[in-house]
Amino acid sequence: MPAASVLFVCTGNICRSPTAECVFRTLVARSQLGAQIEVDSAATHDYQLGEPPDARAVAAASRRGYSFGSRAARQVQVDDFRRFDWILAMDRHNLATLRLLRPRAYRGWLGLFLDLAPQLGVREVPDPYHGEDKDFERVLDLTERGAAALLEVLRVRLPPAAP
């Protein structure tokens, strides 16, 4: 059982949240913490369920050495509030939706992903879906910095590795 679990959430789960999942999963693996941290992503809406990540997101990530692997968009389920200690929304709209879905018993951290990186001066990851390639690059810029900040927060909270 992982010591920490993180769920990234955006509207359709084909651009921002799978990008955050991919970047964070890569950082976790590089830090040799894969056995201690579970990572996933999901959507608040059912617009693109079952679809692969947006080709523009995949191309932008690939240029930086990231791989999405095989994944399909899925929607947040009530069970996710049991499974994940950290549920991180990409923007305020998705956070508001998640707050409506949150069971009263949920004791994890529900908030904006970029609130973990206040030095960025930005609280939301903008949706690149109707934008251009540069918008997907901007998502990666923010995600890389947010993911690094999240990993530092989790490192402090993880139990020490066994000798």
Does residue 162 belong to any structural domain of this protein? no
Question: Is residue 163 domain-resident?
Answer: no
- For the question of residue 123 being annotated catalytic, the response is no
Range(s) of the domain holding residue 126:
4-157
pLDDT band at 161 (very low <50, low <70, confident <90, very high): low
Of 15, 16, 22, 54, which is the active-site residue?
A: 16
Residue 9: which H helix or E strand, with range? strand 4-10
Q: Would you call 10 a catalytic residue per the annotation?
A: yes
Catalytic, out of 40, 54, 80, 127: 127
Instruction: Find tokens 């692969």 and name the residue.
Output: 52
Q: Is residue 92 among the annotated active site residues?
A: no
Mean pLDDT (the chain) is 95
CATH number of the domain at 104, please.
3.40.50.2300
> Would the pLDDT of 157 be above 90?
no
Average pLDDT of span 125-129: 97
Q: Provide mean pLDDT across the span 72-81.
A: 97
* Structural domain includes residue 59: yes
CA–CA gap between residue 54 and residue 90 (Å, rounded): 16
Neighbours of 39 (CB within 10 A): 24
92-99: average pLDDT: 98
> What percentage of the chain has pLDDT greater than the value 70?
98
Would you mind telling me the total number of residues written for the chain in this entry?
A: 163
What is the predicted pLDDT for the residue at 2? Answer: 84
3-state secondary structure of 99: helix
Residue 157 tokens, joined: 């909270």
Count structural domains, the chain. Answer: 1
Residues 6 or more apart whose CB falls under 8 angstroms from that of 54 comprise 14, 15, 129, 136
pLDDT for 36 equals 94
Q: What is the pLDDT of residues 15-45, one digit of tens each?
A: 999 999 999 999 999 999 999 999 999 999 9
Amino acid, res. 50: G
pLDDT of residue 124 exceeding 70: yes
- 99-118: b or e for each residue (b if 16 or more CB lie within 10 Å)? eebeeeebebebbbbbbbbe
- What is the C-alpha to C-alpha distance for residues 146 and 23, in angstroms, rounded to an integer? 10
